[in-house]
């Protein structure tokens, strides 16, 4: 009798465990949908939302040493700058946008044109990051961002970038030193 009860208990545990794998997948899928909705909400509510989305895709591609994805993301980013609805900006935001627009587009286009050359892409990403930071500071991000610094990049001159995660994932040193850096500022 004890053997039958023990066997039924083990089968019940295995049955529950197997069913939980499927339900966890459903939770993950629904979480991914919520993340997509958040991105869409950010793009619709924040004047520079589409720019930020393109920038973060670019940053993540460089973090993963993926020059082709970086080029594609930079193309999207340049397009987002060109399609920006400037009428949604107040006077201060409009002035900052005007100050960074041409240079940001130029740097994004250089990154897009240089698939195969991560070093050159990262050089342009450095200045582009400064420009996107300035824009996000005045327009808002619609989400928490982290302004992060890599002290070792460019012969220890350092460089900054915006990230959607507090965990450091370095776009300048990529997979070779992905955790090099520290958060300098949190933006809301």
Residue 10 lies in a domain: no
Residue 22 lies in a domain: no
Residue 94 lies in a domain: yes
**Residues with Cβ < 8 Å from 160, sequence gap 6 or more?**
129, 130, 133, 147, 148, 149, 150, 184
CA angle centred on 51, ends 48 and 90, rounded to 5°: 20
Q: How far is residue 8's CA from residue 168's CA, in Å, rounded to a whole number?
A: 47
pLDDT tens, position by position, 38-71 = 444 334 457 789 999 999 999 999 999 999 999 9
pLDDT tens, position by position, 133-160 = 999 999 998 999 999 999 999 999 999 9
pLDDT at 34 over 80: no
Residue 160 lies in a domain: yes
Q: Which residues pair with 146 in a beta bridge?
A: 163, 186
pLDDT tens, position by position, 81-138 = 999 999 999 999 999 999 999 999 999 999 999 999 999 999 999 999 999 999 999 9
Q: What is the largest CA-CA distance in the chain?
A: 81
- Domain extent, residue 165, equals 47-187
Residue 175 lies in a domain: yes
- Torsion, Cα of 149, 71, 65, 41 (10° steps): 60
Count the domains in the chain.
1
Instruction: Return the half-sphere exposure (C-beta side, CA atoms, 13 A cut-off) of residue 31.
Output: 6
């Amino acid at each position: 009798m004890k053997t039958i009860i023990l066997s039924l208990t083990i089968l019940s545990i295995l049955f529950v465990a197997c069913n939980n794998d499927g339900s966890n997948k459903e939770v993950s899928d629904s979480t991914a949908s919520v993340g997509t909705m958040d991105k869409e909400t950010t793009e619709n509510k924040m004047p520079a939302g589409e720019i930020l989305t393109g920038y973060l895709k670019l940053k993540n591609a460089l973090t993963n040493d993926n020059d082709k994805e970086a080029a594609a993301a930079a193309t999207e980013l340049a397009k987002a700058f060109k399609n920006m609805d400037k009428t949604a900006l107040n006077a201060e935001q409009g002035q900052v946008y005007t100050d960074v627009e041409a240079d940001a587009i130029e740097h994004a286009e250089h990154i897009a044109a240089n698939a195969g050359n991560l070093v050159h892409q990262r050089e342009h990403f450095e200045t582009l990051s400064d420009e996107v930071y300035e824009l996000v500071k005045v327009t808002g991000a619609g989400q928490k961002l982290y302004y992060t610094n890599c002290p070792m990049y460019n012969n220890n001159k350092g460089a900054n970038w915006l990230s959607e995660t507090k965990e450091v994932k370095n776009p300048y040193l990529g997979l070779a030193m992905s955790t090099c850096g520290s958060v300098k500022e949190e933006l809301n």
